[in-house]
Amino acid sequence: MNEEFRAEENAYSNIGHVIGVISGKGGVGKSMVTASLANAMALQGFRVGVLDADITGPSIPKMYGLSGTVDADENGMYPAETANGIAVMSVNLLLPGEEEPVIWRGPVIGNMVKQFWTDVIWGQMDYLFVDMPPGTGDVPLTVFQSLPVDGVVLVTSPQDLVRMIVAKALNMSRMMEIPVLGMIENYSYMSCPHCGEKLYPFGESHLDEISSSYNVPILGRIPVDPELAKAADAGEFAGVSSTVLDDAVIRLREL
């Protein structure tokens, strides 16, 4: 990767691994996957942060019950901290109200993402997860060019059109010379509350076929779980843990 666009890390930050969480389309629960990965690594004892790069649709602070604005001094901005010790920076922690819209053009949004890297004092950090907006536009391009991304996790869903969407995101990552660590399928299935049988409300999964075609490992399949949505809506996602991402944890620990 050409280094000419690389942004300098804040002088008071020391980050081990930067992991992008991407999706080719919206509505696949990417922020929930990002938060789930962050929780899983924090439970392993690692120092973890989330850079919310979805500037116009930030949801990470709400999921963790974070509100108000972050502190800052001449050295930079200090991220907020969740109940389980995860550092978080999001545009919603800079605005006077969480419902205020961000009506900015692409270059301004891209510069804000870079500032979350250059101006935020992340401190000692083992893993920084970057929650990106869907698609292959300004923000993913800015993150891939400006941050030292060690790899990306691609979030998918079982819908039929997902193969084409996955291919776009995969191809962008490879064109930018960013390793694809693996794929996580969200909304993969649901368990019948009466008999425990797996049901597939969004259709049968194509994940095995896609994994084989593109030689990308599967890191997890997350079921439809109303309790996850309830925890996110209540701002209590810090208390969520799951064993369905054990393979993702193993892959991240290998970096």
Instruction: Please state, in angstroms and rounded to a whole number, the distance separating the CA atoms of residues 71 and 86.
Output: 16
Instruction: Please state, in angstroms and rounded to a whole number, the distance separating the CA atoms of residues 223 and 158.
Output: 11
Phi and psi at residue 162, in whole multiples of 5°? -65, -30
- At 113-131, the pLDDT tens digits run 999 999 999 999 999 999 9
Instruction: Please state, in angstroms and rounded to a whole number, the distance separating the CA atoms of residues 163 and 81.
Output: 36
Q: Helices 226-233 and 30-43 meet at what angle, rounded to 10? A: 90
- Count the alpha carbons within 13 Å of 126 in the hemisphere toward its beta carbon: 16
Instruction: Please state, in angstroms and rounded to a whole number, the distance separating the CA atoms of residues 33 and 248.
Output: 11
The predicted model gives 206-222 an average pLDDT of 92
Separation of CA 55 from chain center: 13
Instruction: Please state, in angstroms and rounded to a whole number, the distance separating the CA atoms of residues 119 and 203.
Output: 44
Q: Check pLDDT > 80 for residue 220.
A: yes
How far, CA to CA in Å, does 104 sit from each of 23, 86, 91?
22, 28, 12
64 vs 190, residue with greater confidence: 64
Instruction: Please state, in angstroms and rounded to a whole number, the distance separating the CA atoms of residues 71 and 50.
Output: 17
Instruction: Please state, in angstroms and rounded to a whole number, the distance separating the CA atoms of residues 220 and 21.
Output: 14
Ranked by mean pLDDT, which of 93-97, 154-158, 193-197 comes out on top? 154-158
Separation of CA 205 from chain center: 22
* Residues 224/187, Cβ–Cβ less than 8 Å: yes
Average pLDDT of the chain, as a whole number:
89
121 vs 94, residue with greater confidence: 121
Q: Which two tokens stand for residue 31?
A: 């922020």
pLDDT score of 103: 65
- At 20-63, the pLDDT tens digits run 999 877 778 899 999 999 999 999 999 999 999 998 888 999 99
Q: Where are the alpha helices (DSSP H) in 28-68?
A: 30-43, 60-64
Strand 80-81 relative to strand 13-22, pairing: unpaired
Q: Check pLDDT > 70 for residue 133.
A: yes
* Residues 144/20, Cβ–Cβ less than 8 Å: yes
Instruction: Please state, in angstroms and rounded to a whole number, the distance separating the CA atoms of residues 106 and 199.
Output: 40
* Residues 184/28, Cβ–Cβ less than 8 Å: no
